[in-house]
Amino acid sequence: MMECMHYYQSPLGNILMASNGNALTGLWFEGQKYFCENLCNTYEFKKLPVFEQTDHWLDLYFDGKEPDFIPPLYLNATPFRRAVWDILLTIPYGCTMTYGEIAKQLARQKGTGKMSAQAVGGAVGHNPISLIIPCHRVIGANGNLTGYAGGIDKKIQLLTIEKVDMSSLYIPKKGTAL
C-alpha cells in the first residue's frame, strides 16, 4: 500500500503528516517519540484534500483559534487504544484531563471496576495523530505535566496556545526526571 506524506511548517517545528489517500493516518512533530511509527516503507509526497484540510486546521490552531472541524481520520489500532483516543477527542479545547480520569471513564464504559492509568498512558503515548487527537491535554495526577511524545516544552507551548490555566500544574525543571 502506498502512503502519502506532507510537511507542515508550524511555529513549534516541522510536522509530518501521513495519509492513506483519503484520511489522515499520522501527524507527528519531526523527531518526536514514536515518530512515523506504523508507516509502511513505500510513500510519496503528494498534495491531497485531507492535507489541505489538516493544514487549515493547523493554521487555525496555531493562530490561537479552536478549529470547529476534524479532518477525516483513519486509525489502525487495537480496540483499547481506539477507546482511549476516542476519549481524548472529547477533551475540550483549553481543558485538561488526567490519565486516571480517562482510566475511570474507560472502566465505566466497559463495565469493569478498574482500569490501569499506566495502560492508558501507553495508549496516549502511541497516539499517531498528535494535536488533532489532543494527547497534549492529558496530565498526570496532581497536575504533573508528564508524558508528551513531542516533549514537555512543546506540551507547555500547546497548552499556552489554548490558554490553559497552568497555575496549578507542576512544570518540571529542565533535567528533572518525572
Active site members = 135
Cell numbers standing for residue 15: 510536522
Count of all residues that appear for the chain in the document: 178
User: How would you class 112 by CB atoms within 10 Å of its CB: exposed for 0-12, middle for 13-18, buried for 19 or more?
Assistant: exposed
Give the strand pairing for 97-98 and 43-45: unpaired
Question: Could you give the count of Cα atoms lying within 13 Å of 63 in the half-sphere of its Cβ?
Answer: 9
- Picking from 175, 140, 129, the residue whose alpha carbon sits closest to that of residue 29 is 129
Q: Which three cell numbers stand for residue 52?
A: 489541505
Tell me which amino acid residue 142 is. N
Greatest pairwise CA separation for the chain in angstroms: 47
Radius of gyration of the CA atoms of the chain, in A: 16
How far apart are the C-alpha atoms of 76 and 95, rounded to whole Å?
27
